[in-house]
Chain A
Amino acid sequence: MQTPTLFALLLLLVLVAYGTGFSRALAAARSRGGMRNLAALPTYYGTHTALWCGLPALILLGAWLAFDDPIIRSLVMGAIEDKPDTIAGRDLLYSQIQNLAAGNLFGEPSAQVKAAAERLTSLQAAASTLQTIIVLVLSLGLGAFTLLRFSPEVRAREKVEKVLRGVLVTCASAAILTTVGILLSVLFESLRFFQSVPVTEFLFGLHWSPQMALRADQVGSSGAFGAVPLFTGTLMVSAIAMFVAVPVGLMSAIYLAEYASNRVRSLAKPVIEILAGVPTVVYGFFAALTVAPFVREVATSIGLQASSESALAAGLVMGVMIIPFVSSLSDDVINAVPQSLRDGALGLGSTHSETVRKVVIPAALPGIVGGVLLAVSRAIGETMIVVMAAGLAANLTANPLESVTTVTVQIVTLLVGDQEFDSPKTLAAFALGLMLFLSTLVLNFIALHVVKKYREQYD
């Protein structure tokens, strides 16, 4: 049976199970003289039956769909005598077999492919039948079993609530699962990468050119994977961004929190927050088509050489993007400083700005530092602006008018387009991803730690 049909049938069974459980409970209540003689409300009996009927079968079906293709593939490929050595070769062979099994014939297949295709077809048919039978038997069996065990003494509500609670725990654990997924996916591919390129070369090498030759005898056949130019490029763009975002964001937060009248505040704050809602691809377009030519023009007019894709343009625009991030985080911590401190400072005769500089900011400093660190981690991980405006050339330079490349840009260029999962070129992207993940993780931990450790409690 096709999976969607099976799914619909399962849904129908669940509905029937609910109805049966519900009416059994109603009948029991009637014969016993009222609802209060039941251990739970009829809906709970219905839900209880429906859960047993549907949930295990559904979980099994999900697991089946997730794992049947790899298992069938390994069965089919295991039966083949002489396999190609490379992953790409095996992939090609398997897709050939699949095509043949699906009836799209290209050329004259070898006997071994023909046999494998037949095996694939029969396995798929068997798997489909088996799936239908097991799912339906499980669903019907458990549903019927629950109905057989029905009695007004069954504490259906507790049982249903236990299952619901289990569902809630599972959903909450999705966050852990995601982190594990990220770690596994970048870690495994990175380890494979470090088998062909030494870690030291990757971390300390000064030359980056990941192009791998197609033929062994081609010039420059081995790519260079020294990531230092990428790290410096990332740092430079982020530093420029922070030069823009921190002063502007902090000063606007101070002005809004300390000086602005309610009217100005209610007008200016949302306008600045708009900057946070603009998609990064829009900033990228703006950086590449408006800011970069402008930077270039200004640089040329004062007699400097500027590349058309400069670190400065990308950094400036990224800074603008981060302004609302810094300003709203600082705004929160500045507002958390109690009014009594300000009143005390003003009472001693300090001016408004002295109060802010010598009392409010020091009191809010841990929160501000934490916010700035979070902003740095955001700048490091930002992708679209640099992809569109910073360029691809891995220059090791300190000149912000030259084009630089960043970790995120390289991940995108290495992974967009065709990929082979056994070439260091593709795997390098995962190693870069690992670096990116670890550095943002460390920054976040430090930020949270700073905030927690140095926060003064005023309550």
Chain B
Amino acid sequence: MTDLTQDQVRERIEQSLAGRHRKEKLFRGLGIASIAFGVLAVLVLFTDIISKGSGAFVQTTVQLEVTYDPAVLGIDKVDEESLTWANFTGVVREALRERFPGVSGRSEKRELYSLVSTGAPFTLRNRLEANPELLGQTEKVWFAADDDVDTFYKSLDDSAEGFRGRTSDQMAAWVAQLADSGELKKRFNTTFFTNGDSREPEQAGIRAALVGSLLTLMVTLALSFPIGVAAAIYLEEFAPKNRWTDLIEVNINNLAAVPSIVFGLLGLAIFINFFELPRSAPLVGGLVLTLMTLPTIIISSRAALKAVPPSIREAAMGMGASRMQVVLHHVLPLAMPGMLTGAIIGMAQALGETAPLLMIGMVAFIVDVPGGVTDPATVLPVQIFLWADSPERAFVEKTSAAIMVLLSFLIVMNASAVWLRKKLERRW
């Protein structure tokens, strides 16, 4: 280096400058590209799911003129027993045959009957049960169309041909005819929000799963929040520096990184096999999720406690409060907003969790809305998993719609956590 004059050094540096600036630009470009990739991933994910799922909020329905003919129904009065035996299927078929009188032959008839959902007789049953005077009368009723018809009719929006699947030419013609006369329409799908699971896509809904999720989360919150806060208070305010405390700390940090499915194994071996708690129950699901979310809640609660300045403690101590009184009367109320934020985030995590719940049998096919924490239930993410596995094409739409519902719950929860933090947190 000593051989070079100052000018030569400057020359070399200036020569290298172009290359270095190019590298600078490249590096910066890579950074921008990474950010863009992340943002793009979010956009693609959301548009993909919304475009797949928005269709599920409407349902293709068919209007038919049905006659509650006692002769077809096989009943002469409306009561509990006769409703059970009444042949509502016959009434629906009669109505379809009347609408399309030219249909004959076995296979053609079968196609005709498969225009409406197999749930149509139940619709009629419910109507008749609510208004017994309808017996013998004729009225116009909207029925949910079969899932194949539904998929076909909705796909007409995207292409003139539409997705045929199991819809034959004859059925397509009927659909076109009904649509032209205004007897086939897309209407808001209330079934999706009021029904439990079903093998038939047009009758499947998320109500049972939503209630199951709610019950599971209630168990989780009721257990994990008090235990987590108590643990955080002990570790932050009372714990002496010793082996036991160190062991607890190491354990909490480790549990935070243990895969969730391992918690499922724990639930299966201990809660179900050893304690013989009921399978598929929100109680067991809540217990497993409690163990899983505890580290999250403990860590965030400790952060909230740490954020309370020591001067508060010293002032209370100076007024003669005991250590327990200092914590319970002064520190805890001040740390509460931060703890609540942590709890909401922990609950959001628990709401989206699937794998450990599969282990404890919450994948069972459950139609009924659970009434308590020991009833068999399923939860929203598991319902999504189950529907995603179903072969019917119409379930793709349902799955995406269920995902949209789940995501909107999560967005609301996280947004309220952020809002709560902004609103209640104090800067000291």
Contacts and interface: CB of A to CB of B under 8 A. Distances in A.
Contacts of A352: 24, 28
Contacts, number: 255
Contacts of B359: 411-412, 415-416
B39 interface: yes
A249 B32 CA distance: 12
B384 A172 contact: no
A388 B388 contact: yes
Which of A185, A320, A436, A444 has the most B CB atoms < 10 Å from its CB?
A: A185
B233 A168 contact: yes
B262 A433 contact: yes
B59 to A, nearest CB: 21
B188 to A, nearest CB: 24
Q: Is the interface of A mostly helix, strand, loop or mixed?
A: helix
Nearest to A352: B24
Given A165-B238, A252-B38, A353-B27, A383 B355 contact: yes
B153 interface: no
A148 interface: no
A284 B39 contact: no
Contact of B348 (A250, A277, A415): A277
B424 interface: no
Contact of B38 (A272, A383, A384): A272
A182 B407 contact: no
Interface stretch (B110-118, B161-169, B248-256): B248-256
B85 interface: no
Contact of A430 (B33, B255, B269, B406): B269
A189 B259 contact: no
A275 B227 CA distance: 29
B34 A178 contact: no
Interface residues of A, number: 90
Interface in A199-220: none
Question: Interface on chain B toward A: helix, strand, loop, or mixed SS?
Answer: helix
Contacts of A388: 385, 388-389
A430 B265 CA distance: 7
A323 interface: yes
Interface residues of B, number: 86
Contacts of A274: 42
A135 interface: no
A381 interface: yes
B38 A185 contact: no
A320 B41 CA distance: 7
10 contacts: A182-B265, A279-B351, A279-B407, A281-B382, A289-B52, A289-B396, A320-B41, A352-B24, A383-B261, A441-B258
Interface of A: 66, 69-70, 157, 161, 164-165, 167-169, 171-176, 178-179, 181-182, 184-186, 188-189, 247-252, 254-256, 258-260, 268, 271-272, 274-275, 277-282, 284-286, 288-290, 320, 323-324, 327, 351-354, 356-357, 374, 377-378, 380-384, 387-388, 408, 411-412, 415-416, 421, 429-430, 433, 436-437, 440-441, 443-444, 448
